[in-house]
Structure 1
Amino acid sequence: MESELSDLEKKLRGYLFGSACGDALGRPVEHLTLERIKAKYGEKGLLELLPDSPWTDDTQLMLVLARALVLGAEREPSELMGLLAGEFVKWLDEPDLGAGATSKGAALRLKEGVHWQDSGIESKTCGSLMRVGIVGFIYRNDPDKLLEVASLSGKITHSHPTSDAASIAGAYAVKLALDGMEPLDMFCPLLKVTGGISEEFTNALKVAYELAFGDMSDEEALREIGQGWYAEETFALAYFCMLRYPDDYKKALQIAVNITGDSDSVGCVAGGVLGARLGIGSVPPAWVEALEGKAELEAMVGPLLEKYFEVSDHISEVRGS
């Protein structure tokens, strides 16, 4: 148990700090064109996390989802969504870190009394994707519930099929990463669990895979995939970076955020999956130290580990009965 806990804790920290560092690294360059990024930071773009770097709503909303999971991940999905709805309402009182109109609008609908099944807005932006990786951690050993919770937790804010597919892929990729699967080998499993939900997500995933093994430079290929404002592009951009640099967290994240587009969300998704696979040791210690709010992440490690084992033990009991 001790060795398992040690390895699992490293991977959980890798996910939490890996995604938050990617989010914070991308924050200063979000909305800037690549040309402007290079003009400001040099030909290779922004490469290091500056001292006291804050994260954005991407990490903030991941923590909202994490708190709901800690409260009731063992419950039936419908009950869990009720808890998540309550956490979204509480989130409205937190500082605005740049939340998109879809997430904020859905949370306001929940506050007004709209049921969580009806609160989602038909938007295919990436707000549900960037927070969902923690679901892949908690339900690593229960893939069916993982897929159900990933989908339902996304639809609370984003009801578009493309966002749904991206949410499922985002959570499942973290599960595969925790299992030690290389990004290359994730392609077919990701196609399988998202199949038939959104043709544009499937196409974006295939394009990212093909370009990663093509002759285009990183810069050219990322431009071809898109800017990341929409969920299929966000995941495809992150997946491309993982495929190109599967064992180099820092390089993958430097490539991920230096784009014309949603730099922080792409960095958050790529950083979370690679951090989960490679562990906290892959995240530059200087980046972790520079991260503002790291104590809040640290405080979630114990409760999330406890909930992971509670859920896993329950699964073992059910399967053994």
Structure 2
Amino acid sequence: MKDIDKFRGCLIGGAAGDALGYAVEFLDEETIFSRYGENGITEYDLVNGVAEISDDTQMTLFTANGLLLGTTRGMTRGIMGSYPSYIAFCYKDWLRTQCEKYPLNEEYPYSWLINIPELYNRRAPGNTCLTAIENGANGTIDEPINRSKGCGGVMRVAPIGLYFETKRRTIDEIDMIGAETAAITHGHELGYIPAAGLVHIVQSLSHNEDISLLDAVLDMKEALRRQFTNRKHLSEQIDLIDKAIALSKEDIDDLEAIRELGQGWVAEETLAIAIYCSLKYSDDFDKAIIASVNHSGDSDSTGAVTGNILGAYLGLKSIPKKYLDNLELKDVILEIADDLYNDCKISEYGSYHDEIWEQKYIYKTYKRTK
């Protein structure tokens, strides 16, 4: 059964890891530890009093918007396309927030998120995402748009695992929505297979009370083997997952372990580092997030994915207050999490109306009031 605290925990946790890691994303480990001390960065490095999120959390929000846009379309019109197609539409709106100024002069937007001025900030967006979306955002697994396996595909798909239950869709179908969403911009097998893996873990943890984190990871590994049997690079991902599991059980320095797994600039490494940190500190969000960002790599993405996993596992209640205070767009993130949990209740032939929902996912005119 789904749990709203886990929905909130997953998205806030991802944003917290993103914001903690964003401050050190392009620093090598020597610089990180000399600047922040022997434990590295352990609390937000605020900019004008704000813990800034990066493109990771921005795109995660637009992923969630795309899911809800698609469902609302289907519920109110009786017909809809694929979920990745609606997510791709919303990514086009995200691209405009990166290239244009607020407010947009747009009569028919896809996403109400374009009405949030704070999203009009470029926070080191990935070139692959920018280019792929600019060129149409039309990549698929069967017709890849490029050969990129950067982490831009995996770092944004957690809402898919949260949103879907296994009552109407099999776990394999849910995982594949994650893979196809990553393939919109990342065409390499290792650009989209890790996305399916993250979706699987998040779905398992957020919809089951009695599953352990390790069992969720092991089940994900078997699901990847089942779904991507003929993919020639699958074994590379499986080997990295196995290494992450093994390292999490050893008495080893976190930085040394992460060096063995990579730097996280590519998706298979991002997932592996997040699995290691989550398993190593499965009952301690703080320690896991700190470990996940203090290395010479893509710290915001490894932090974001670790936060997604542990947030889904432990819930918002287990995230320390220091990660909630000053987090940029915290209220928007919580609102999106609640929308994913509550879902669309308007139907084509029903009498139920929800003015706020309609403003968000039908007319896209909604503007938050502070």
TM-score under structure 1 normalisation? 0.88
Alignment partner of 1:233 out of 269, 281, 285 = 269
User: 1:308 and 1:247, CA in 2 relative to 1: closer, same or farther beyond 3 A?
Assistant: farther
1:177-201 Cα offsets, whole Å, 9 max, x none, are 2124322222321211211342211
Alignment of 1:177-188 (within 5 A): 177-178=205-206, 179-180=208-209, 181-188=211-218
Aligned twin of 2:15: 20
Alpha-carbon distance in 1 for matches of 2:196, 2:81: 17
Letter in 1 for 2:57: T
**Secondary structure in structure 2 of the residue aligned to 1:93:** helix
Letter in 1 for 2:56: D
Are 1:125 and 1:229, in contact at CA under 8 Å, matched by a contact in 2?
yes
What is the CA-CA distance between 1:307 and the residue it aligns to? 1.9
Alignment partner of 2:152 out of 127, 137, 140 = 127
Alignment partner of 2:40 out of 42, 45, 53 = 45
1:146 maps onto 2:174 in alignment = yes
What is the CA-CA distance between 1:78 and the residue it aligns to? 4.8
Alpha-carbon distance in 2 for matches of 1:219, 1:147: 30
Alignment of 1:296-307 (within 5 A): 296-307=332-343
Alpha-carbon distance in 2 for matches of 1:138, 1:265: 21
Larger Rg: 2
Alpha-carbon distance in 2 for matches of 1:54, 1:278: 23
Are 1:107 and 1:119, in contact at CA under 8 Å, matched by a contact in 2?
no
Question: How many residues are paired up?
Answer: 302
User: 1:130 and 1:73, CA in 2 relative to 1: closer, same or farther beyond 3 A?
Assistant: farther
- CA-atom RMSD in angstroms: 2.0
Letter in 2 for 1:46: I
Alignment partner of 1:81 out of 84, 107, 110 = 84
Alpha-carbon distance in 2 for matches of 1:309, 1:284: 33
Alpha-carbon distance in 2 for matches of 1:299, 1:239: 27
Alpha-carbon distance in 1 for matches of 2:341, 2:216: 24
Are 1:70 and 1:304, in contact at CA under 8 Å, matched by a contact in 2?
yes
Are 1:126 and 1:163, in contact at CA under 8 Å, matched by a contact in 2?
yes
User: 1:14 and 1:115, CA in 2 relative to 1: closer, same or farther beyond 3 A?
Assistant: closer
Aligned twin of 1:257: 293
Deviates more, 1:279-288 or 1:296-305: 296-305
User: 1:226 and 1:116, CA in 2 relative to 1: closer, same or farther beyond 3 A?
Assistant: closer
Are 2:26 and 2:297, in contact at CA under 8 Å, matched by a contact in 1?
yes
Alpha-carbon distance in 2 for matches of 1:299, 1:272: 16
What is the CA-CA distance between 1:293 and the residue it aligns to? 1.4
Are 2:139 and 2:186, in contact at CA under 8 Å, matched by a contact in 1?
no
For structure 2, the 5+ residue unaligned runs are: 98-119, 347-370
1:183-230 Cα offsets, whole Å, 9 max, x none, are 222232121121134221111111111111123221211111111101
What is the CA-CA distance between 1:16 and the residue it aligns to? 1.1
What is the CA-CA distance between 1:73 and the residue it aligns to? 4.0
Alpha-carbon distance in 1 for matches of 2:250, 2:16: 28
Alignment partner of 2:95 out of 89, 92, 95 = 92
Aligned twin of 1:199: 235
What is the CA-CA distance between 1:308 and the residue it aligns to? 7.9
Alpha-carbon distance in 2 for matches of 1:41, 1:77: 50
Are 2:201 and 2:217, in contact at CA under 8 Å, matched by a contact in 1?
no
What is the CA-CA distance between 1:116 and the residue it aligns to? 4.7
**Secondary structure in structure 1 of the residue aligned to 2:3:** helix
User: 1:307 and 1:120, CA in 2 relative to 1: closer, same or farther beyond 3 A?
Assistant: farther
